[in-house]
């Protein structure tokens, strides 16, 4: 009887060890497949990231022609005419203009600008719209947001001439670019002496 029990225990223990051995063999046979599957799943993502670092996507170039609008205000600082200099805020008089325009960009280097500027004059406790200026011009665009604009000028008060403008973009956002400009208006006509001035313009361009 004891011998029979000993043999049955031996057989049972042998069966347990065989089962454990079979589990280990099955696990070892499956583990390479699992590892390989994980590698195949992660490899494309890792390779894609590596490709992004090695070959970054090129910047999207704007398509031309491109039309953008802008809003701004302009302050005449000083005007020189007939041997005398007049500042904007002298004699309790001030002028401020509100240029509104459209730029048609043909390339990174060249464009054309259409601008209309109503001017409001305040003097003696009252204010009125004193002038309307139409000044189209060609745009010569350079790097770092710098542009030179050569404008013609036609005013409803009878003056005409030309205006070189030096424009610089100083801040960029997703929707608009902010710019500052200095202009030198040269004016003739309407039985008045030739004049040249210095204006400060600040505004933003819609992207």
Each residue's pLDDT tens digit, 117-159: 999 999 988 999 999 999 999 999 999 999 999 999 999 999 9
Q: What's the pLDDT score for residue 46? A: 56
Is pLDDT above 60 for 35? Answer: no
Indicate the SS3 state at residue 13. helix
Q: Can you read off the two tokens belonging to residue 78?
A: 């000083």
- List C-alpha distances in Å: 180 to 71, 103, 171, 177: 12, 16, 10, 10
Of 188 and 62, more confident: 188
% of the chain residues with pLDDT over 90: 66
Rounded (5°) CA angle 157-160-162? 140
pTM of the full structure: 0.70
Model confidence at 34, in pLDDT bands (50, 70, 90)? very low
Each residue's pLDDT tens digit, 158-188: 999 999 999 999 999 999 999 999 999 999 9
95 neighbors 127 (Cβ within 8 angstroms): no
CATH number belonging to the domain at 66-206, selected among 2.40.160.20, 3.40.630.10, 2.40.50.140, 3.40.190.80: 2.40.160.20
Each residue's pLDDT tens digit, 74-87: 999 999 999 999 99
Q: Can you read off the two tokens belonging to residue 71?
A: 């809003």
Cα gap 149→126, rounded to integer Å = 34
Q: What's the pLDDT score for residue 144? A: 95
Q: What's the pLDDT score for residue 157? A: 94
Q: What's the pLDDT score for residue 107? A: 96
Residue 93 parent element (H or E): strand 93-97
- List C-alpha distances in Å: 122 to 1, 93, 206: 125, 6, 30
Q: What's the pLDDT score for residue 14? A: 54
**Which range among 6-15, 145-154, 165-174, 192-201 shows the weakest confidence by mean pLDDT?**
6-15
């Amino acid at each position: 009887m004891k011998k029979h029990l000993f043999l049955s225990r031996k057989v049972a223990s042998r069966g347990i060890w065989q089962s454990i051995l079979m589990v280990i063999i099955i696990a070892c046979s499956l583990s390479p497949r699992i590892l390989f599957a994980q590698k195949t799943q992660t490899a494309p993502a890792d390779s894609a990231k590596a490709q992004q670092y090695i070959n970054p996507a090129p910047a999207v170039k704007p398509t031309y022609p491109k039309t953008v609008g802008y809003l701004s205000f302009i302050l005449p600082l000083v005007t020189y005419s007939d041997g005398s200099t007049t500042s904007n805020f002298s004699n309790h008089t001030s002028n401020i203009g509100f240029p509104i325009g459209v730029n048609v960009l043909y390339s990174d280097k060249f464009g054309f600008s259409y601008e209309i500027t109503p001017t409001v004059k305040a003097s003696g406790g009252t204010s009125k719209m004193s002038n309307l200026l139409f000044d189209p011009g060609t745009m010569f665009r350079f790097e770092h947001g710098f542009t030179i604009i050569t404008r013609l000028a036609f005013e409803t008060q009878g003056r005409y001439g030309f205006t070189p403008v030096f424009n610089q973009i100083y801040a960029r956002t997703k929707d608009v670019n902010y710019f500052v400009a200095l202009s030198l208006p040269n004016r003739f006509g309407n039985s008045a002496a030739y004049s040249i001035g210095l204006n400060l313009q600040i505004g933003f361009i819609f992207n």
